[in-house]
Amino acid sequence: MHPAQLLIVDDEKDLLQGLKRMLAREFEELDIHTRHDPAAALALVREKPVDLILLDIQMPKIHGLELLKQMNSIDKNLTVIMMTGYGSIEVAVQAMKSGAYDFITKPFDKTILFRAVGKGLEHNHLLRENIKLRERICEKEPFANFVGQSAPMQRLYHGIRTTARTDYTVLILGESGTGKELTARAIHSLSKRRDNPLLMVNCPAIPEHLLESELFGHRKGAFTGAHRDQPGLFVEADKGTLCLDEIGDIPVAIQTKLLRVLQEQEIKPLGSSKTRSVDVRIIASTNRNLEEKIKDHSFREDLFYRLNVVSLHTPTLGEIREDIPLLVDHFTRQVCCELELPEKHFALEAVEALVNRPWPGNVRELQNVVRGAVLFCPDETITPGYLRNAKGEIEYTTPKIYAENDAIEPYKEAKESAISLFTKNYVTRLLQETGGNVSRAADISGLTRAALQKIMRRHAIISSNFRSEG
């Protein structure tokens, strides 16, 4: 553990050395720095994290309160104790309003000085720990609504984290129902803009004649019905993020104006002769093939390259079939909670049926199927008879586990073989993912540890065989 860092700033060099010796004897683990020049003190604050600063108020080159302001502009979480030989309530109040943690007067009473330094160090430690905790929470929260441990999902998580650290324009590509909006929200939540607005715009939902005004704003009287000034979404999202959903469907005329915003970082409201600078990060998403739209001249090529600085792909449900059991369990718990129902679960053959059916509607379609099954099944265990497709029809397919020319097994044996194969593959994948950690595998699957171990014994699966892979 690194020693705490204390900086003492005072124009009196003898006082600096005396304070350093006194505090070093009392706080043996403290790394003490002294500076008599304000510029040197600022340079130190820029170079390294400082846990506590003792700062003189009355200095010839710069007033202590001004120096405090400059230090806070470098690190707003500094813990600073002001020192002065001209103690007064007015100066103390002014120092505290300017961001000081405490206030002590010269000449120093050792007991008061040591207590103030001790409390200041403790305050700084708690403050920094709180910041780290918030950062860890911020790191986890954006992924709270994502479910999946497959390789394509891991690539998406990595892409979101990496992209969020930049301010680049992002293009999210993926079919409907694959989580493009969730991805955009996660990028914003992990970015440095997270404390500023995130505005989501469903471009096709806004009539063409209103989209320009909605995005860029208008002045009063710019068109019939424009009874007042409208700032527009770019202005409302200033310093934040604007997500343009289904960007491939916006008219070419709007594309031209959007290109100018991306190039110049400025907008011109309808009916105005003046431009206005904006600082907005753009995240665009689409389920269309933009390169095909470029060929038929319905999408500008130069805009495509401006948007496609960084691209992310949200995988289809077909690409992450191994995550379907996890998604089914997640949605089942969610629906039971929403409807205040007793806990339910899907039978293995029902899960296996969901794994093997096509999903043109992706995760959104799976969620709707699970909702319907949970709602209409009166029993604790949901069987394949309650699985319905988008048309409301029961649709259950058994995987082909035999070759074309093989004799077909009796139904009971075929069913048991299919369930056994699915279970073995599922548990094997779980243990591969967790490196043989049975407790973590049980948490992911929603099973109890005892139930999972029972399944492992039945299929002769040994957790230690997976530990070298973890």
Query: What CATH number does the domain containing 118 carry?
Result: 3.40.50.2300
Domain with residue 361: its CATH number is: 1.10.8.60
Residues 77 and 31 in one domain: yes
Residues 16 and 127 in one domain: yes
Residue-number span of the structural domain to which 259 is assigned: 145-315
Residues 378 and 455 in one domain: no
Residues 161 and 121 in one domain: no
Residue 326: exposed, middle, or buried by beta-carbon count in 10 A (0-12, 13-18, 19+)? Answer: buried
Question: How far apart (Å, rounded) are the C-alpha atoms in residues 320 and 429?
Answer: 13
Residue 401 lies in a domain: no
Question: How far apart (Å, rounded) are the C-alpha atoms in residues 126 and 120?
Answer: 10
Residue 394 lies in a domain: no
Non-local CB neighbours of 231 within 8 Å, separated by 6+ positions: 217, 269
Q: Are strands 80-84 and 241-245 parallel, antiparallel or unpaired?
A: unpaired
| 183-218 confidence digits (pLDDT tens) | 999 999 999 999 999 999 999 888 877 898 889 988
Domain termination site, one of 90, 112, 137: 137
The region, left, alpha or beta by phi > 0 then psi within -120 to 50, assigned to residue 274 is beta
| 71-129 confidence digits (pLDDT tens) | 988 888 889 999 887 666 677 778 888 888 888 888 888 899 999 999 999 888 888 77
Residue 391 lies in a domain: no
Residues 173 and 271 in one domain: yes
| 420-469 confidence digits (pLDDT tens) | 777 877 888 888 888 888 888 888 888 888 888 888 887 778 887 777 53
Residue 424: exposed, middle, or buried by beta-carbon count in 10 A (0-12, 13-18, 19+)? Answer: middle
Listed as own residue / partner, the contacts of 271-279 with beta carbons closer than 8 Å and 24 or more positions apart are 271/218, 271/219, 271/220, 271/221, 271/222, 271/223, 271/226, 272/218, 272/219, 272/222, 276/235, 278/234, 278/235, 278/237, 278/238, 279/238, 279/239
Residue 439 lies in a domain: yes
Residue 137: exposed, middle, or buried by beta-carbon count in 10 A (0-12, 13-18, 19+)? Answer: exposed
Residues 103 and 149 in one domain: no
Q: How many domains does the chain have?
A: 4
Domain with residue 238: its CATH number is: 3.40.50.300
Residues 58 and 116 in one domain: yes
Residue 362 lies in a domain: yes
Question: How far apart (Å, rounded) are the C-alpha atoms in residues 64 and 294?
Answer: 61
Residues 171 and 222 in one domain: yes
| 20-29 confidence digits (pLDDT tens) | 999 999 998 8
Domain termination site, one of 92, 109, 137: 137
Q: What's the mean per-residue pLDDT of the chain?
A: 86
Confidence of residue 470 (pLDDT cuts 50, 70, 90): very low
171 bridge partner residues: 284, 311
Residue 109 lies in a domain: yes
Cβ atoms of residues 267 and 217 within 8 Å:
yes
Output the pTM of the full model: 0.57
Question: How far apart (Å, rounded) are the C-alpha atoms in residues 53 and 3?
Answer: 15
Residues 290 and 224 in one domain: yes
Residues 35 and 111 in one domain: yes
Which pLDDT does position 401 carry in this prediction?
46
Question: How far apart (Å, rounded) are the C-alpha atoms in residues 341 and 53?
Answer: 57
Which residues of 252-410 form beta strands (DSSP E)?
266-267, 276-277, 281-286, 310-313, 345-346, 381-382
Residue 405 lies in a domain: no
Domain termination site, one of 106, 137, 168: 137
Residue 400 lies in a domain: no
Question: How far apart (Å, rounded) are the C-alpha atoms in residues 199 and 185?
Answer: 10
Region 350-355 average pLDDT: 89
Residues 269 and 308 in one domain: yes
Which pLDDT does position 156 carry in this prediction?
95
Residues 305 and 165 in one domain: yes
Percentage of residues in the chain with pLDDT exceeding 70?
Answer: 91
Query: Nearest 10 degrees: CA dihedral of 29, 31, 36, 37?
Result: -150
